[in-house]
A = this chain, B = another copy of it.
Amino acid sequence: MKKFLNTADSFLADSLAGLGAAHPALRVDIENRVVTRSEGVADGRVALVSGGGSGHEPLHAGFVGDGMLAAACPGEIFTSPVPDQMLAAAAAVDTGAGVVFVVKNYTGDVMNFDMAADLAGDDGIRVETVLVDDDVAVQDSTFTAGRRGTGATLLVEKIAGAAAERGDGLGVVADIGRRVNAASRSFAVALTASTTPGADRPGFDLPEDEIEVGVGIHGEPGRSREKMRPADEIVADMMAAILADHRDLGSGSDAIVLVNGMGATPLSELYLVYGRVAAILADHGVTIARNLVGDYVTSLDMAGCSITVCKAEESFVHLWDAPVRTPSLRWGI
């Protein structure tokens, strides 16, 4: 599989160097793998820190900036960052108001962020953790006890980030993040597998006429391997899984919806998927208050998409609309 890279070993550093060159508003510490805002966090504000394996860009470093993350710590491809990175990030951005760790529910990430929280506590940094586990496809998975964290991570980072920006306290910001996660459900389908830089073949085999239904963002197996079929049928199945699990998303609910590309799916196809999602939610009496369509939580060069539906309290929509200025999500400023 051809990729723009020099060596597999230098890939992440080379990519982070480019990120830093492109965005003066970010400070990219390539050696320690920590990305922060160049101008820091305003006095007295809670700081959101996230991180995880690389390969899901723009998540997380692309969401560092005013109104969203204070810092991100990227691990190697599909590999958790280490506690030292997380600790360095927390120490770099804590204003004294405390730090919220946004952690996708994968065993390695959870363990390392737990350790980092302990170390930060020893250094007098108050830490709250928001665990994201929105993927309804499977209960346990290759790298997960419990549900996987996927598309809702973006929603948690945006909405809790806006709460931090307006000056909410540590407990409040963390609580908002947890409520966003609790209100969110996701489901993904892969048309092709992704290939890790340096590997000579994709992470799994997927025949030309089959799809992986319920796939994870590292290519973890989903619920079933099925025959390819028309998009409307695929989307109907994805939405059925989400709605079956999302018991309190009833008629009259508002929702924030993310139709997310996994990396190699054209935007035209994502809009086609969104159209069907919108029709199905309308049939259920659900109003889509806000939406986002594009590549936000990817799996390298996987073709496929995920759908995330968050039952939106009015306060979520208000915080969603707050100004944000990051490399990959920006409005209002």
Query: Which residues of A approach B to under 8 Å, CB–CB?
Result: 1-7, 11-12, 14-22, 54-55, 57-58, 62, 191-192, 208-209, 211, 228, 230-232, 234-235, 263-276, 278-279, 291, 293-295, 298, 300-301, 303, 305, 325, 327-328, 330-333
Tell me whether B265 and A301 are in contact (CB under 8 A).
yes
Cβ-neighbour of A267 out of B208, B271, B298 (below 8 A): B298
Q: By the criterion CB–CB under 8 Å, are B271 and A15 in contact? A: yes
Do B268 and A54 have beta carbons less than 8 Å apart? yes
B18 and A273 within 8 A (CB)? yes
Docked pose: A239 CA to B4 CA in angstroms = 15
21 contacts between A and B (CB under 8 A): A2-B228, A4-B231, A4-B234, A4-B269, A5-B269, A6-B231, A11-B272, A14-B275, A15-B271, A15-B275, A18-B271, A18-B293, A21-B274, A21-B279, A265-B301, A266-B300, A266-B301, A268-B300, A295-B295, A325-B331, A331-B331
Asked whether A2 lies within 8 Å of B303 as measured between CB atoms, the reply is: yes
Closest-by-CB residue of B relative to A271 is: B18
How far apart are A290's CB and chain B's nearest CB, in angstroms? 10
Interface of A is mostly: mixed
Q: Which 6 interchain pairs have the tightest Cβ spacing?
A: A18-B275, A18-B271, A264-B264, A4-B269, A2-B191, A4-B231
Cβ contact within 8 Å between B191 and A278: no
**Residues of chain B within 8 A of A17, CB atoms compared:** 272, 275
Residues of chain B within 8 A (CB-CB) of A291 are: 22
Q: How many Å lie between the Cα of A134 and that of B11 in the bound state?
A: 30
The answer to whether B272 touches A18, judged by C-beta atoms less than 8 angstroms apart, is: yes
**Distance to closest chain B CB from A144 (angstroms):** 23
Chain B residues near A16 (CB-CB < 8 A): 271
A19 to B272 CA separation, bound complex (whole angstroms): 8
**Contact at B274–A22, with CB atoms within 8 Å?**
yes
Q: Are B271 and A19 in contact (CB under 8 A)?
A: yes
Q: Are B264 and A301 in contact (CB under 8 A)?
A: yes
Least Cβ distance of A74 to chain B in Å?
A: 9
Distance between A88 CB and nearest chain B CB, rounded to angstroms: 21
A301 to B230, CA, bound (A): 18
Chain B: minimal CB distance from A316 (Å)? 18
Which of B7, B22, B267, B332 is close to A62, meaning CB atoms less than 8 Å apart? B267
Apart from A2-B211, A18-B276, A294-B328, 9 more pairs, CB < 8 Å: A2-B228, A4-B234, A5-B230, A7-B230, A14-B272, A15-B275, A18-B271, A21-B275, A54-B268
Contacts of A293 in B (CB 8 A): 18, 22, 327
Chain B residues with CB below 8 A from A11, complex form: 268, 272
Bound Cα distance A275, B15 (Å): 7
- Which B residues are in CB contact (< 8 Å) with A300? 266, 268
Task: Please determine whether A15 and B55 come into contact, CB atoms closer than 8 angstroms.
Answer: no
